[in-house]
Homo-oligomer: A and B are copies of this chain.
Amino acid sequence: MVIKKEKIDKILEGYNKKDITIATLCSHSSLQIFYGAKKEGFKTVGIAKKEVPRFYDAFPLSKPDSFIILDDYKNITEQSDELLARNTVLIPHGSVVEYIGSDIYENMNIPVFGNRNVIGWESNRDMERKWLRHGNIPMPEKVANPEDIKFPVIVKYYGAKGGKGFFIAKNYDEFMKFKPSAPFTIQEYVVGTRYYVHFFWSPITDDGYRISRGSLQMLGMDRRDEANIDEMYKLGSQEYLRTLDVNPTFVVTGNVPVVLRESLLQKMFDYGERCIDASVELFGGLIGPFCLETIVTDKLEIKVFEISTRIVAGTNLFISGSPYSDMIEKDLSMGRRIAMEIKKGVELNKLSEIIT
């Protein structure tokens, strides 16, 4: 159950808008989020587990002003009073829901940047598919029944984070070797090169790239680095490695920067726009950062195989700007863009439209 918007609005009304604190959990893209927040003049608080993490000391420009320490992230609501007293907005990066738990996250009374209603649409792969189809966005084919596997597929668990437990199968026999136990989806394995495109949608600004509501920005692109799939080829072919019981896995360990063929940019923006338009129709719009995870084929088609509805870790490459954001303004990271949006929300008295 998502907390009532009126409750959050009421909390926001009570906030001192000139003294807002930006908070997030100390992981994933927190260095970037704090870096951007500090640049925009916000107070910052890091929410950490068990103890104050030491690594922030190494990066003084990203170290939050203070920390709140929890025994377990699931206990975050114990600190609600403290957080509200500090006029806190929580930035939900890609690990926040996983760490807090979606039930607690949805229902807690701490104001969150973006639209909490997006959760149901991203954690369930059928809902995600429905959303993308609603936007008429090209996706890899879905295979309903394992018996129907006639081309290479990738099998993904629902809500799996960081690619854990994914596997590839080229036919029914290979599928049966893995026999997934949790809810899963079977997707065509599209061959091509991957681009993870970092978008930001603002419902409250209308300069730059205007879409039917608000405006859209592309701030960068990365490619995810996955163990073991990305480097296991160095040891031998997959067919051979299988005999050594070395099988492909898809655990995200980091990111590398990329740029996309310029002639494909317009199509990418079109898909970003359709994704937003569909989200507005289906659940009021996702608001803020999102990432289209795409494969470009040798026919220069773009297939969106997944959508991330929050700041993705690939943006950590671009803490001082990317080849794309540099064409908007200098030193524009996704972390800073989020802080700028909150600032804009205050200025325009539209915080309520971007916080839930």
Beyond A62-B327, A257-B257, A316-B323, 7 additional contacts (C-beta under 8 Å) are A53-B266, A55-B209, A58-B217, A95-B263, A192-B228, A193-B253, A256-B257
Q: Which of A6-14, A81-89, A235-243 contacts B (4 or more CB under 8 A)?
A: A235-243
CB of A151 closer than 8 Å to a CB of B: yes
B55 and A298 contact, CB distance less than 8 A: no
Tell yes or no: A68 within 8 A of B by CB.
Answer: no
Residues A323 and B328 in contact in the complex (CB < 8 Å), given A170-B236, A298-B227? no
Q: Would you call A233 an interface residue if the criterion is a C-beta within 8 Å of the partner chain's C-beta atoms?
A: yes
Interface hit among A27-35, A106-114, A135-143, A178-186: A27-35
Q: 9 closest A-B pairs (Cβ-Cβ)?
A: A59-B327, A237-B237, A58-B209, A249-B298, A227-B298, A251-B298, A253-B296, A192-B227, A62-B327
A323 CB contacts on chain B under 8 angstroms? 316-320
Provide a sorted-by-A list of 12 A–B residue pairs whose CB atoms are within 8 angstroms. A29-B262, A57-B209, A60-B208, A61-B328, A162-B261, A170-B236, A228-B297, A238-B240, A251-B298, A257-B317, A262-B313, A317-B323
Interface assignment of A346: CB less than 8 Å from any CB of chain B: no
Give Cα A250 to B235, complex, Å.
Answer: 12
Bound Cα distance A249, B192 (Å): 9
Chain B residues near A244 (CB-CB < 8 A): 151-152, 170
Name A260's contact: one of B194, B248, B253 (CB within 8 Å). B253
The answer to whether A263 and B170 have CB atoms under 8 Å apart is no
From A232, A298, A313, residue with most partner B Cβ within 10 Å: A298
Nearest chain B CB to A323 CB, angstrom units: 5
Measured CB to CB, the closest approach of chain B to A94, in angstroms, equals: 10
B54 touches A227 (CB 8 A): no
Contact pick for A316, options B170, B233, B262, CB 8 Å: B262
Taking CB atoms, residues of chain B closer than 8 Å to A172 are none
Instruction: Please measure, in the bound complex, the distance between the C-alpha atom of A240 and the C-alpha atom of B299, giving whole angstroms.
Output: 22
